[in-house]
Amino acid sequence: MGYIVLVTGASSGLGKSIALHLHSLGHTVFGTSRNPKQYIDTFPFTLLELDVTIKESIAHLFGELQQLNKPIDVLINNAGVGITGPVEETPLEAMRANFETNFFGPLAMIQRVLPLMRKNKKGTVINITSIAGYMGLPFRGAYSASKGALNIMTEAIRLEIGNQGINVITLAPGDYATDIASRRFHAPVINNSPYQKAYQGSLNTMDSHIDSGNDPIEIAHKVAVLIEQANPRPHYVVGSFIQKFSLTLKKILPQKAYEKLLKNHYKL
Ligand SMILES: NC(=O)c1ccc[n+]([C@@H]2O[C@H](COP(=O)([O-])OP(=O)(O)OC[C@H]3O[C@@H](n4cnc5c(N)ncnc54)[C@H](OP(=O)(O)O)[C@@H]3O)[C@@H](O)[C@H]2O)c1
């Protein structure tokens, strides 16, 4: 029997791929978008309205699901946005806005869904984080921090909820070919800024990594496997060999050697 799955940010990229794949496997999928009317008749699954940064929008979504009498078995906290810029020059409001979507949004969803899952004595929450959340990447500091914060919060939630049949885990993708780069907040490259050359260079590297990224279906396949696991690990990583290996290197190399590796990679 299939699960009832809620996928935030299912209008594009990884979320769309996850929602389509789980639907094709026979699960009942509810995807979300801030503008579902843009996508009428586009998807074989139901697309509901949700902005994870707006309390009322979250309340409305859960009201709709309750009316439909659909107990959520699985929540995929996928909605997220990118942000780039030198930390020194990125407006704090832009960083706060990023955290609202990437960190507080998923947490707000978790706060709504856990009581429902507890009632049903089962459920899985998968927080889509990022390999970038395991290290502070240059000119992506706010993004790395928002995803790293979600990683740590996931660990805390797991310890708090104990063994209630509910699994809360993270899945950290490497680079996948989606439109995330075109939607992210870019702090402007400021003329004569001490960061101008390095920031522009890093932006070019980041964009080429995303453009040449793997197929999002890999993430969808992993999600399909994880939701079937009775006792999953706290964290999973999916990406190219080198992206995954960079996490192993971070664990085994001396800190300054790892930092040097990143500096060489980003030509800093
Ligand atoms: N692509 C990668 O290489 C990569 C790597 C690591 C992690 N990730 C993470 O994977 C997730 C999906 O990224 P993606 O690459 O698929 O990007 P994407 O194509 O830009 O999709 C982002 C999705 O999030 C939704 N969204 C954005 N802001 C929202 C908000 N305030 N409330 C609700 N939904 C919102 C968008 O839906 P609407 O605009 O329709 O509302 C869209 O469906 C993100 O969390 C991202 O950080 C991606």
Question: Which of 11-15, 111-115, 180-184 shows the lowest mean pLDDT across its residues?
Answer: 180-184
pLDDT, residue 151, reads: 98
pLDDT digits (tens, 9 = 90+) for 129-141: 999 999 999 999 9
pLDDT, residue 210, reads: 82
Mean pLDDT for 171-176 is 96
Alpha-carbon separation of residue 209 from 1, 154, 178 (angstroms): 38, 27, 11
pLDDT, residue 185, reads: 95
pLDDT digits (tens, 9 = 90+) for 211-255: 889 999 999 999 999 999 999 999 999 999 999 999 999 999 999
Tell me how far apart the alpha carbons of residues 90 and 189 are, in angstroms, rounded to a whole number.
Answer: 10
- Paired with 30 in beta bridges are 6, 46
Does the CB atom of residue 177 touch ligand 1 within 6 A? no
Does the CB atom of residue 239 touch ligand 1 within 6 A? no
Say if residue 189's pLDDT is above 90: no
Q: Which of 7, 12, 50 to mutate to test the pocket of ligand 1 (most atoms within 8 A of CB)?
A: 12
Say if residue 160's pLDDT is above 90: yes
What are the percentages of helix, strand and coil residues in the chain, rounded to 5?
50, 15, 35
pLDDT, residue 163, reads: 82
DSSP-derived secondary structure letter, 37: G
Atom 1 of ligand 1: nearest residue by CA position: 176
Does the CB atom of residue 51 touch ligand 1 within 6 A? yes
User: Which residues, at least 6 apart from 164, have a Cβ–Cβ distance to it below 8 Å?
Assistant: 117, 118, 121
Mean pLDDT for 247-264 is 97
User: Which residues, at least 6 apart from 249, have a Cβ–Cβ distance to it below 8 Å?
Assistant: 258, 261
Q: What percent of the chain has pLDDT over 70?
A: 100
What is the whole-number distance in angstroms between the Cα of residue 41 and the centre of ligand 1? 21
Confirm whether 143 is a catalytic residue: yes
Does the CB atom of residue 203 touch ligand 1 within 6 A? no
Q: What is the CB neighbour count within 10 angstroms for residue 2?
A: 12
pLDDT digits (tens, 9 = 90+) for 40-99: 999 999 999 999 999 999 999 999 999 999 899 999 999 999 999 999 999 999 999 999
Mean pLDDT of the chain: 96
**C-alpha triplet 55, 162, 26: angle, nearest 5°:** 65
What is the whole-number distance in angstroms between the Cα of residue 180 and the centre of ligand 1? 6
- Looking at domain 4-265, which CATH architecture does it have? 3-Layer(aba) Sandwich (3.40)
